[in-house]
Amino acid sequence: MQQDTIFDKIIRKEIPADIVYEDDVVMAIKDINPQGPIHVLVLPKNKVTGFDRIEEMGAVEAGKYIIAISKVAEKLNLKDGYRIVFNVGKHGQQTVPYIHAHIIGGRQMGWPPG
């Protein structure tokens, strides 16, 4: 059985979050520890534990999720660009086992990432 995470509780609206966008496919919330002027997490309502398990969503749902991430980024009006991050597992420093895309923007990014 999958672990119930903080994002499961946020999706079920059992605990509050700063919701910036919601539809049938995703909920987008402000990150509580922002890494830039804009830092939004995009959570699919159809849960898998991480990007490494995205195949379990099925191609149609996974496609809807990716398109929703792009739409949320568009709504954030980040005209000079932004970064999308999926942290995966230990080396990727994933802390919450509920797939989520980070959209970070509003500042110049560096490369390589830390």
The correct pick among 94, 99, 101, 103 for binding ligand AMP (CB under 6 A) is 94
Cα 57 → chain centroid? 15
71: its two tokens? 């739409």
28: its two tokens? 């987008």
Whether the Cβ atoms of residue 28 and residue 42 lie closer than 8 Å to each other: yes
Give catalytic status of residue 102 as yes or no.
no
Candidate segments 52-60, 62-70, 74-82, 91-99, binder of ligand AMP by CB under 6 A: 91-99
Binders in 38-77 for ligand AMP, by CB under 6 A: 41
Across the chain, how many H-helices and E-strands are there?
Answer: 2, 5
Binding of ligand AMP at residue 33 (CB under 6 A)? yes
Q: Which residues bind ligand AMP (CB under 6 A)?
A: 6, 17, 29, 31-33, 41, 87, 93-96
